[in-house]
């Protein structure tokens, strides 16, 4: 375990307008090698402190580096993935437990979360959103309309749903194989704020080393502030040709010699019956339906997520209608 005394704390800035409004929190570097959010947040902070940007209502909280250990090490994690199994722990066992103990109460004090990330391979930016309104036990939610409108303000045109319930089904499959697991391991920042009555979107801005990723992040923050009416500025262009994608199945790697049949890219389109991967024992994995392969990880560990399958979401019409209303506003 990493020595718990280093780093010394979680650093953040807060700016309050003189009128009541939303309590909005923005996170960067939840994963330490994903720095586009850090760069964009520092740019926003500098604009506020220099008077270029004014927060006119509500409260804005900026955390440029949410996982300072992983950030200092220039890698995804410190001791473990901060964006999994997020909860308050009475006896911290690793550095991310210490961060969670500070971050969870902070999220509870806010209404809206933007968590900024990047990914390792080339691809279009996208936003991970929560479920439709429901009263299920896994992720009950009643603010899908507000969260959807917020997501549309971020400047991307690809939206992905279905993370937690797909992950939970994967946990059941692991348990059936005798592998320990719990659905709450899929709970990260956005799931945490939804559980305490807020809304949250994870924004994936592009490839880690792409300078444009920080530009995507910056424009998203400005668009979010405009949407929440917390700061004035130029009108943000609404996305066109939007697509809404639903994750529906996670495939785990079962052996170190399991391999892909193709050098898959995330969100590459696949056809029903197409060969995707081969197991070490010779078994073949085929696409179950037309759709996309998402988050393929050739370096996945045994009994961990290898890739996801996704299909077109039934919420596309809902998002198009919401976007049409925003254009007309």
Q: Which domains does the chain have, with CATH numbers?
A: 13-239 (3.40.630.10), 249-312 (2.40.50.630)
Closest CA to 240 of 158, 174, 133: 158
Closest CA to 245 of 113, 150, 129: 129
Task: Give the whole-angstrom CA distance, residue 119 versus residue 117.
Answer: 7
Task: Give the whole-angstrom CA distance, residue 252 versus residue 124.
Answer: 24
User: How would you write the pLDDT of the chain (329 residues) with one tens digit per residue?
Assistant: 444 455 678 899 999 999 999 999 999 999 999 999 999 999 999 999 999 999 999 999 999 999 999 999 999 999 999 999 899 999 999 999 999 999 999 999 999 999 999 998 888 999 999 999 999 999 999 999 999 999 999 999 999 999 999 988 998 888 888 887 766 778 999 999 999 999 999 999 999 999 999 999 999 999 999 999 999 766 667 778 899 999 999 999 999 999 998 899 999 999 999 999 999 999 999 999 999 999 999 889 899 899 999 999 999 999 999 888 765 55
Q: In what order do the strands lie in the sheet with 126-128?
A: 13-16, 57-63, 19-27, 112-119, 199-207, 126-128, 158-161, 243-252, 305-312, 291-294, 268-270
Q: Name residue 128's beta-bridge partners.
A: 160, 202
- Predicted confidence at residue 205, as pLDDT, reads 97
- Predicted confidence at residue 9, as pLDDT, reads 80
SS3 of the chain: the string is CCCCCCCCCCCCEEEECCEEEEEEEEECCCCCCCCHHHHHHHHHHHHHHHCCCCCCEEEEEEECCCCHHHHHHCCCCCCCCCCCCCCCCCCCCCHHHHHHHHHHHHHHCCCEEEEEEEECCCCCCEEECCCCCECCCCCCECCHHHHHHHHHCCCCCEEEECHHHHHHHHHHHHHHCCCCCCHHHHCCHHHHHHHCCCEEEEEEEEECCCCHHHHHHHHHHHHHHHHCCCCCCCCCCCCCCCEEEEEEEEEECCCCCCEECCCCCCCEEECCCCEEEECCCCCEEECCCCEEEECCCCCCCCCCEEEEEEEECCCHHHHHHHHHHHHHC
> How many alpha carbons fall within 13 Å on the CB side of residue 291?
22
Environment class of residue 269 by beta-carbon count within 10 Å: exposed (0-12), middle (13-18) or buried (19+)? exposed
- Predicted confidence at residue 218, as pLDDT, reads 97
Residues 248 and 262: beta-carbon distance below 8 Å: no
- Predicted confidence at residue 244, as pLDDT, reads 97
- Predicted confidence at residue 127, as pLDDT, reads 98
């Amino acid at each position: 375990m990493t020595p718990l005394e280093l780093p010394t704390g979680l650093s953040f800035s807060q700016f309050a307008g003189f009128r009541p409004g939303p309590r909005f929190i923005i996170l960067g570097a939840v994963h330490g090698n994903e720095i586009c959010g850090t760069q964009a947040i520092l740019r926003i902070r500098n604009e506020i402190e220099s008077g270029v940007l004014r927060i006119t209502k509500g409260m804005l909280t900026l955390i440029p580096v949410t996982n300072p250990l992983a950030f200092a090490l220039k890698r995804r994690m410190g001791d473990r993935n901060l964006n999994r199994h997020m909860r308050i722990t009475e006896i911290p066992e690793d550095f991310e437990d210490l961060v969670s103990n500070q971050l969870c109460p902070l999220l509870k004090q806010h209404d809206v979360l933007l968590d900024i990330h990047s990914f390792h391979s080339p691809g279009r930016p996208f936003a991970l959103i929560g479920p439709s309104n429901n009263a299920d036990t896994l992720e009950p939610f009643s603010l899908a309309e507000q969260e959807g409108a917020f997501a549309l303000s971020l400047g991307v045109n690809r939206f992905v749903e279905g993370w937690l319930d797909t992950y939970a089904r994967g946990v059941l499959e692991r348990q059936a194989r005798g592998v320990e697991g719990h659905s709450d391991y899929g709970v990260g920042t956005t799931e945490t704020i939804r559980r305490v009555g807020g809304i949250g979107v994870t924004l994936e801005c592009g490839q880690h080393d792409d300078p444009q990723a920080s530009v995507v992040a910056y424009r998203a923050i400005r668009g979010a502030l405009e949407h929440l009416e917390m700061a004035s500025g130029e009108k943000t262009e609404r996305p066109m040709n939007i697509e809404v994608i639903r994750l529906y199945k996670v495939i785990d790697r079962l052996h170190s010699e399991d391999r892909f049949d193709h050098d898959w890219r995330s969100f590459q389109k696949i056809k029903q019956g197409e060969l995707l991967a081969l197991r070490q024992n010779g078994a073949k994995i085929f696409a179950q339906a037309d759709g996309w392969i998402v988050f393929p990880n050739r370096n996945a560990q045994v009994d961990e997520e290898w890739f996801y399958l996704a299909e077109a979401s039934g919420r596309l019409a809902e998002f198009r209608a919401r976007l049409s209303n925003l254009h007309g506003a």
